[in-house]
């Protein structure tokens, strides 16, 4: 009989193991030991180590995008919504350093992850950013000729690079301290008057 809580227990253990050992150096038995279960139990829920990685990304990313939608829904102006999104992006990663290590480093190690298994989840995040930008253009807050798709990728890319540098720098400073600067620099480029 399968335990409905077990997949989440395995995923949380995998995050810690992948962050500590690296994805390629981690074994299913390491994840099982971390989760406090027998190695064979993992195979009742996941066929491979890669399936664990893909599932953890999908679940965490879907939950993250849903969280962002809820948190920015009450913020009226698109500029303030973007500032809040950047701050929350950095806050979630800073509060979950093992997850940050996995998302920013381990997921990118040598396979076409972002073109394959995770494409839908990344697209949902891009759609959220793009919807804020489109609203800003429609409301006259952002430049009328703003290339929304390019601007979306630029903001995501800036947040992603700052977060990766933070992880690779062994988290020697507060990531959230960069949020205001990232948002301000981005908004200067997209707002109608560069303010």
pLDDT in tens, 109-162: 655 555 565 677 889 999 999 999 999 999 999 999 999 999 999 999 999 999
Instruction: Give pairs for 17-21: CB < 8 Å, separation 24+.
Output: 18/53, 18/98, 18/101, 18/102, 18/106, 19/97, 19/98, 19/99, 19/101, 19/102, 19/106, 20/98
The pLDDT > 90 percentage for the chain reads 77
Q: Tokens for 176?
A: 């959230």
Do the beta carbons of residue 117 and residue 54 sit within 8 Å? Answer: yes
Predicted pLDDT at 92: 97
Predicted pLDDT at 48: 92
Domain 56-190 has CATH 1.10.357.10: yes
Do the beta carbons of residue 192 and residue 176 sit within 8 Å? Answer: no
Average pLDDT rounded to a whole number, residues 66-77:
95
Q: Cα–Cα distance between 166 and 184 in angstroms, integer?
A: 19
Q: Tokens for 11?
A: 């995923």
* Phi and psi based region of residue 163 (left: phi greater than 0; alpha: psi -120 to 50; beta: remaining): alpha
Average pLDDT, the chain: 91
Our CA dihedral for 163, 166, 170, 176, rounded to 10 degrees, sits at -100
């Amino acid at each position: 009989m399968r335990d409905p809580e077990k997949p989440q227990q395995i995923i949380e253990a995998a995050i810690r193991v992948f962050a500590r050992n690296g994805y390629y150096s981690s074994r299913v038995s390491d994840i099982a030991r971390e989760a406090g279960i027998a190695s064979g139990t993992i195979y009742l829920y996941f066929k491979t180590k890669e399936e664990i990685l893909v599932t953890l990304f999908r679940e965490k990313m879907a939950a993250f995008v849903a969280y962002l939608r809820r948190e920015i829904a009450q913020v009226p102006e698109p500029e303030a919504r973007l500032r809040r999104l950047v701050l929350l992006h950095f806050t979630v990663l800073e509060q979950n350093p093992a997850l940050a290590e996995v998302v920013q480093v381990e997921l990118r190690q040598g396979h076409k992850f972002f073109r394959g298994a995770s494409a839908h989840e990344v697209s949902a995040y891009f759609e959220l950013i793009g919807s804020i930008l489109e609203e800003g253009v429609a409301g006259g807050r952002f430049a009328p000729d703003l290339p929304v798709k390019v601007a979306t990728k630029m903001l995501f890319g800036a947040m992603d690079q700052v977060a990766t540098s933070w992880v690779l720098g062994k988290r020697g400073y507060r990531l959230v301290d960069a949020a205001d600067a990232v948002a301000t620099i981005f908004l200067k480029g997209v707002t109608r008057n560069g303010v």
